[in-house]
Structure 1
Amino acid sequence: MSRLVVVSNRVARPESLNSGAQGGLAVGVLAAMAEAGGLWFGWNGRIENRPTTEVREEKRQNIDFVTIGLRQNEYNNFYLGYANSVIWPLFHQRPDLMSYRHNNRMGYLGVNRKFVNQLLPYLKPDDTIWIHDYQLIPMAKMLRESGVKSPIGFFLHTPFPSYDLLRALPDYKEMLDELLHYDLAGFHTKIDEHNFHESIRYGLGGAVPRSGLVDCKGHKVQTGVFPIGIETDEMAELMRRGKTSKEYQQLKEELGERKLFIGVDRLDYSKGIFRRIQSYEQLLKNHSEMHRKVVYMQVAPTSRGDVKAYSELAQRIDQAAGHVNGTYADFDWTPLRYINRGFRRRTILALYNLSHVGFVTPLRDGMNLVAKEYVAAQDPDDPGVLVLSETAGAAAELTDAVIVNPYDTETVAKKLAEAVQMPLDERIDRWQKMMTVLRRNNIHAWQRNFRAALKPQIHPPID
């Protein structure tokens, strides 16, 4: 079995290996490397204005962690400027929020080249390389130009936009060309894969037969749908440990008999928090009998606060939350708790278990693992109800959630009322069906299926 080399923008801390603190991508990557060992390469999260790049190496068990820092200008152009102010809004259907600058594009390519140059000395001829997410799309082409012939796979953790949206990007043809240099391109949903196929057809004139093997400009690229999962069976134990936290115990005491709605998201315009608050306000307006009987807690740690769109969003949400409480709160009831900080993962899982409704309504999301973790954290004998946006990737799998359109706030309010009053037998039936899906498509199945599909394809010689 060949060694697996994983490249991602951020790398899990080696000390978290046995702590249970890591989640999502880290769990899948570590599981993939457990059998034959591997190397995980990426940014260490630090801004280091050194004259030369310092490479940090650390080995834990049979996994090598290799990380590098970024200079301030690299961080500004690559991370803030292009990745998060161009690709992120475009891929989440907000081209109006794109802030395109040519120097940001050059900085994006420059950091990808830096990653390639620092990674090359560590590569072996029989390695299998797995590159993750929108920050590192150009890497395969650059690796091919450097003579790397190993199989290279790419997994996109965000949605992939329709061709009409993609064309808003001045460099969209270059991006599509970069993706052709992978042997396997993986997506969360069939819609994302379809959008990529259509972009190849109409943008580059390529052919995509039913097999999903893209044929374009001399390249053969296999595509596939690999919905990322969670470590389903481990969730219950983490949740039980979270019940010992002071946050859980305090909230449980303060709630009393009131029913809890919970939302947990990074503070991001793609998460739909503002419209979510509007839907909750509509619920309170339509159902006075629920006053004092429900509480909505929204946990939204600030992210990318140095991007203008995020600071403006934070102000807008603050005002909306204040309006709800100003209109409906009483001396002994705060209907909406809005918290701008994060909690330990096990505490969040315990809060999911305490809640009656999981409120997960992003405007667009690649997958949304909050939805899956909410389901996995429930009590089998008395589960809560997941209210889930149809525009989240998770909706393709969790069809027994209460599926809503996040833009239709009146209907979302109606579905919230139905969810909080749903009979126990229906809640159990829905939960059992969703758990069957989560166990079948867990994080281990995700990485195994992707690796099994990653095989060498045909690529033309690089001039």
Structure 2
Amino acid sequence: MARLVIVSNRVAVPEEGGKAVAAGGLAVAVKEAFSSYEGLWFGWSGTVTENPTEEPTLIDRGRVQYAVVDLSPQDHKEYYAGFANRALWPIMHYRLGLGAFSRSDYSGYSRVNRTFARALAKLVEPDDIIWVHDYHLLPLASELRGLGLANPIGYFHHIPWPAADVFNSLPASGDLLRAIADYDLIGLQTDPDVQNLSRNLIDTMRAIPLGGGSLMVDGRRTRIRSFPIGIDVEGFKEAAEKAGSNKVVRETIAGLRTRKLLIGVDRLDYSKGVPERMEAVSSFFASNPDQRGNVTYIQITPKSRSEVPEYEQLAREVNETVGEINGSLGDPAWTPIQYVTKAYPRPVLAGLYRAARVGLVTPMRDGMNLVAKEYIVAQSAEDPGVLVLSKFAGAARQLPEALLVNPYDRFEVAEAIRTALYMSRGERLERWKPMAERMTREDVDWWARNFLTELEHFRTVEREPPTAAQAAE
């Protein structure tokens, strides 16, 4: 059987005995992918050291071997905090004004991808299939091809792919478009993402459409398709059903008394629209004074990327917004917004989702957004809550029965909150059931299986050159 080699920016190495150190979306997805394969997971260890070696540290955990490399402070500054998170991330999320490009950062980004490729190439066997994840590693296939690797290499892009005019504003856009064409299979979250990337390759790189999502770019065939990522439905549902015994969940529910709960859970990131959501909640209370004291909004937002200046500024903005709203609307017996920066484990979040009458998932732009899916799966089948979802989240295409809103319009979001709180049980069930059924069918195993089944095809048929008719077309 072929080995599966997964490459990602960070690697979640399980502890001895199989206990995972992380339960994020990528870690869960990788676990599912490895359920059908033996393999290797390669990437950054998370350690920054003055003297990293190019030789990866190998850690054996049975069916899966882990290979991790350290980064130098300069590598971390330029590759991760610099180009990946100050240039690529804002551009991919349509935030041109926040993009900060520098040639030195791009040089560091390219250098780390080259270093990763050299280290990985020593570990890859001829029959391996390679699955690379996310925007940190866009050039990795190109680097591996330059080292002579002919293995099938797939790439999954977890965040949005923007329209050509947006992406091409990045000074390195041409290099990255050329590099991404060295992947055999490119997976994106939604069909519009596929259309954006395909159109850019056709218009900018003169790619030749071959049908079925395949393009010929500089004599090489690549296929671009949407593979919307799912979640571990059964595991999350079980966690939600058992969460009533959890101390944090139990005390939170007791503290609500008869109040209804609004909940938002997001990393601290400007793409998530946290301050804008808070303003929408403030507008809701302003236009519905009878609900003051009867509804509480809990926003759980663990801090992230604190080394990036834009995130420090965002943290200050959110804190100021919380203070202003609670100061103007609250009273000694009631705080409108409970803002928590602590990260909670999955069982706690599952229990809080289940207790919330309204789930607020209103990013300004998101590739998918798994919180929306987790909220749906966590609900009671007898008395489900209502999902208020940004129409700019990839999940909106799989969850059309949610209350879809424009996150830039706080009054529209406020009205959706009111609609959700007053919605009858019958309508809540009518909206929830098809979404829950869809999430069960299209779970994380479905996602991984579909991608890897297609990538396996590139061993034979998909790696052949185009026919004369296709080339002529």
Q: TM-score range by the shorter chain?
A: over 0.9
1:387 maps to amino acid = V
The answer to which of 392-401 and 247-256 deviates more is 247-256
Distance verdict in 2 for CA 1:430–1:20, change over 3 Å:
farther
Distance verdict in 2 for CA 1:283–1:189, change over 3 Å:
same
Q: What are the Cα deviations for residues 290-342 of structure 1, in whole angstroms up to 9, with x where unaligned?
A: 11100011111111111111111111111111111111101100011111121
The residue number in structure 2 matching 1:60 is 61
The answer to which of 403-412 and 54-63 deviates more is 54-63
CA distance in 1, matches of 2:435, 2:235: 16
The residue number in structure 1 matching 2:176 is 175
The residue number in structure 1 matching 2:426 is 425
Q: What are the Cα deviations for residues 13-40 of structure 1, in whole angstroms up to 9, with x where unaligned?
A: 2228445952422222222222331100
Aligned counterparts, 1:233-312, within 5 A: 233-312=234-313
2:9 maps to amino acid = N
The residue number in structure 1 matching 2:208 is 207
The answer to which of 34-43 and 125-134 deviates more is 34-43
1:299 maps to amino acid = I
Residue 440, structure 1, aligned to residue 441, structure 2:
yes
2:139 maps to amino acid = P
Q: CA deviation at 1:203?
A: 1.2
Q: Give the TM-score normalised by structure 1.
A: 0.97
The residue number in structure 2 matching 1:401 is 402
CA distance in 2, matches of 1:209, 1:195: 17
The answer to which of 338-347 and 84-93 deviates more is 338-347
Q: CA deviation at 1:426?
A: 0.9
The residue number in structure 1 matching 2:9 is 9
CA distance in 2, matches of 1:213, 1:402: 35
Identity %, equivalent residues: 39
The residue number in structure 2 matching 1:350 is 351
Distance verdict in 2 for CA 1:116–1:20, change over 3 Å:
closer
The answer to which of 190-199 and 338-347 deviates more is 338-347
Q: CA deviation at 1:12?
A: 1.3
Q: Give the TM-score normalised by structure 2.
A: 0.95
Aligned counterparts, 1:38-437, within 5 A: 38-50=39-51, 52-53=53-54, 55-437=56-438
Q: What are the Cα deviations for residues 174-222 of structure 1, in whole angstroms up to 9, with x where unaligned?
A: 1000011000000000010000011111111212354110122111101
Residues 131 and 154 in structure 1, CA contact (< 8 A), matched pair in contact too = yes
Gaps of 5+ in 2: 466-473
DSSP-derived class of the 1:352 partner: helix
DSSP-derived class of the 2:332 partner: coil
Q: CA deviation at 1:55?
A: 2.4
CA distance in 2, matches of 1:36, 1:314: 41
Residue correspondences, number: 460
DSSP-derived class of the 2:400 partner: coil
Q: What CA RMSD, in Å, does the superposition of the two structures yield over aligned residues? A: 1.5
DSSP-derived class of the 2:45 partner: strand
CA distance in 1, matches of 2:323, 2:264: 17
Distance verdict in 2 for CA 1:35–1:182, change over 3 Å:
same
Distance verdict in 2 for CA 1:225–1:356, change over 3 Å:
same
Residues 55 and 119 in structure 2, CA contact (< 8 A), matched pair in contact too = no
Residues 12 and 22 in structure 2, CA contact (< 8 A), matched pair in contact too = no
DSSP-derived class of the 1:386 partner: strand
Q: What are the Cα deviations for residues 91-146 of structure 1, in whole angstroms up to 9, with x where unaligned?
A: 00001111111010010011101111111111100100000000001010110110
CA distance in 2, matches of 1:243, 1:118: 47
Distance verdict in 2 for CA 1:376–1:122, change over 3 Å:
same
Q: What are the Cα deviations for residues 147-170 of structure 1, in whole angstroms up to 9, with x where unaligned?
A: 100000000000001000011111
Q: CA deviation at 1:53?
A: 3.9
Q: CA deviation at 1:432?
A: 0.9
The residue number in structure 1 matching 2:471 is none
DSSP-derived class of the 2:208 partner: coil
2:7 maps to amino acid = V
